Amino acid sequence: MQPSLDSFNSPNSEEYCSSWEEMLQNRQLIIASNHGPVTFHKDENGENQPQRSGGGGLVTALSGITQHVDACWIASALSEEDKAWQGGLVPIGEESGSIRVKFVISDDAAYDGYYKVIANPLLWFLQHSMWDIFRSPTIDRSTWQNWQNGYVAVNRLFAEAVTKQILVDQRPALVMIQDYHLYLAPYFIRRVLHPRAKYTLMHFIHIPWPGAEDWGFLPPRMRQGILEGLCAVDLLGFQTREDGLNFIRTCESHLPHAHVNFKQGRVWYRNHATFVRDFPISIDVKSLRRLAETEEVAEYHKSLLEQYGGNPLIVRIDRIEPSKNIVLGFQAFDELLELHPEHRGKVQFLALMVPSRMEVEEYQNYLNELMGAAGQVNAKYGDSAWEPIRVVVGENYPRAVAALQLYDVLLVNSIADGMNLVAKEGPVVNQQHGVLVLSERTGARQQLESGALVIPPLDISATANALHQALIMPTDERKEKAERLRNLIEGEDIVDWLCKQLETIVKLGL
């Protein structure tokens, strides 16, 4: 799902895009993220072949910009074939052209400490309000080893790779660093480069930034390292205004000698200004529509219709991820069937679950938990003719798009979610005037609440009630809401997300 050249030149964005396009012509673009746009695997002939990375929204969101500039994407090597890659241009999809990809190779123990202990679950859980303070996390000697030899070490390697790339080219660099895996890298980059080297550091955080009190639970050394890392950035982007304000509050509370200015969205630290802004991420509407019209999606559409056609369909699509709150969603469905027996034997709940971070213990356990929760509902209400909840585990994007075309109700009940792209994809391709039931703790709520039924995600009764309201909603109201959502999403797609960041760089003279 990449923005096309047309969409970059769309009438809405033409005026300010011309200035950032000009700005990009004189710069090299460096993107740094843990997962790159491709990973290499051996094909049947034993040749190393790149495969588009799937899963999260990040790769999708950034691929488009690389059609327009000379870009280099630096990412962790995730396979032996990645490690063997010498660097160079890689095609990343029919329309996205090619991109220079370089891999950072860390030893396995360092990578595991960085990824499986510190980034996930420690930081991810903290930032999604999922710490069970009573019991977890336990920060002990082993956590500290993983911090130092894992998170710090891998961030240092990324910083070295970025620095090397900045110096290889005469042109000033624009560096776009992504997400919570790489909070420390900006500090190391700035420390190594000459003060007069020409580069601009951006960092975009895709996940929520909780309040200063939550960060108070992290040991001061980790907390300060993270804040110093982010205060080495020139432009720091968040999904929502609240996330940005929370960051400034966190600096005010926990970063000695930082000077904050809420009105101007700025933190001064060690003679350097970090501008804090919100850039709500979105989807590439055109590409999604194109995919929705393919044969492959049509085949899945037909097969889903054969299975569920005629019955009201509730759909959810998520990575297998505790913050997506899948278990409580099933419990809400249980309550719906309990309180409204008229739905029994009719309404079908289809849950498409994408495996994710299965090497992290918490995620393995969560898969078992959600299967158990679905099993309980099925045992309680199901019979030979009706399985109330169908859980399908696997990665299959065309099938996900077909399910989105068919839902009567789309359930997104995350405990916390930076944005949630499924909530934006659904209304664009849905063909049933389906209703979106949306957690108030998603970034998407900010833009979509007027067209959705908004729920507090921990309230099972409120969720059950919203599902019921959605199922019995009169057609006119459904149509009106569905259309409103479509308009809101079409009005601000992925192109705007990218343009606004680049425009801000130009406006601030960074």
Using CB under 6 A, pick the residue from 425, 492, 493, 496 that binds ligand GDG. Answer: 425
Q: Looking at 387, 395, 459, 480, which residue binds ligand GDG (CB under 6 A)?
A: 395
CA 79/CA 131 separation, integer angstroms: 31
Nearest CA among 235, 204, 287 for reference residue 494: 287
Residue choice 4, 16, 19, 56 for contact with ligand GDG (CB under 6 A) = 56
How many whole angstroms from its chain centre is CA 500? 18
Residue 493 lies near ligand GDG (rule: CB under 6 A): no
Where does this chain touch ligand GDG (CB under 6 A) — which range of 245-253, 332-340, 389-397, 459-467? 389-397
What minimum distance in Å lies between the beta carbon of 397 and ligand GDG? 4
* Distance from C-alpha of 75 to C-alpha of 255, rounded to nearest angstrom: 29
Work out which of 3, 57, 225, 329 binds ligand GDG, going by CB under 6 A: 57
Interstrand relation of 48-52 and 88-91 (parallel, antiparallel or unpaired)? unpaired
Q: What is the CA radius of gyration of the chain?
A: 23
Residue count at the site for ligand GDG (CB under 6 A)?
Answer: 22
Which residues in the 369-388 window bind ligand GDG by CB under 6 A?
none
DSSP alpha helices (H): ranges in 210-294?
Answer: 212-215, 220-230, 241-254, 285-292
Q: Which is nearer to ligand GDG, 400 or 467 (CB)?
A: 400
Residue 55 near ligand GDG by CB under 6 A: yes
Q: Are 457 and 415 in contact (CB under 8 A)?
A: yes
Q: Report how far residue 173's alpha carbon sits from residue 165's, in angstroms, rounded to the nearest whole number.
A: 9
Burial class (CB in 10 A: 0-12, 13-18, 19+), 455: buried
Q: Where is 101: in which H helix or E strand? A: strand 98-104
DSSP 126: H
DSSP 186-232: HHHHHHHS-TT--EEEEEE--S----HHHHTTS-HHHHHHHHHHHTT
- Which of 334/425 has CB closer to ligand GDG? 425
- CA angle, 4 then 403 then 324, to 5°: 90
Smallest distance from ligand GDG to CB 396, Å: 5
Which of 420, 447, 463, 501 contacts ligand GDG by CB under 6 A?
Answer: 420
Q: Does 448 bind ligand GDG (CB under 6 A)?
A: no
Chain mean position to CA 413: 15
Q: Does 81 bind ligand GDG (CB under 6 A)?
A: no
- Evaluate whether 38 touches 78 at the Cβ level (below 8 Å): no
Residue closest to ligand GDG, measured at CB: 54
Q: Of the two residues 207 and 471, which places its CB atom closer to ligand GDG in the complex?
A: 207
Residues 335-354 that bind ligand GDG (CB under 6 A): 354
Of residues 184 and 317, the one with the C-beta less far from ligand GDG? 317
Class of residue 5 by CB neighbours under 10 A (exposed 0-12, middle 13-18, buried 19+)? exposed
Pick 56 or 172: Cβ nearer ligand GDG: 56
Instruction: Give the span between the Cα atoms of 91 and 8, in whole angstroms.
Output: 20
317 in contact with ligand GDG (CB under 6 A)? yes
291: contact with ligand GDG by CB under 6 A: no
Q: How far, in Å, CA of 305 to CA of 208, rounded?
A: 36
Identify residue 75 by its one-letter amino acid code.
Answer: A
Q: Which is nearer to ligand GDG, 269 or 407 (CB)?
A: 407
Residue 56 CB, nearest distance to ligand GDG (Å)?
A: 3
Rounded to the nearest whole angstrom, what is the least distance from the CB of residue 116 to ligand GDG in the complex? 17
**Residue 151, token pair as written in the block:** 């998170």
- Nearest approach in angstroms of CB 1 to ligand GDG is 7
Contact flag: residue 329 with ligand GDG (CB under 6 A): no
Q: How far is the CB of 443 from ligand GDG (least distance, A)?
A: 6
* Residue 207 sits in the site that holds ligand GDG (CB under 6 A): yes
| Cβ 341 to ligand GDG shortest distance, Å | 32
Least distance in Å: CB of 387 to ligand GDG? Answer: 21
Return residues touching ligand GDG (CB under 6 A): 54-58, 206-207, 281, 317, 319, 354, 395-397, 400, 417-422, 425
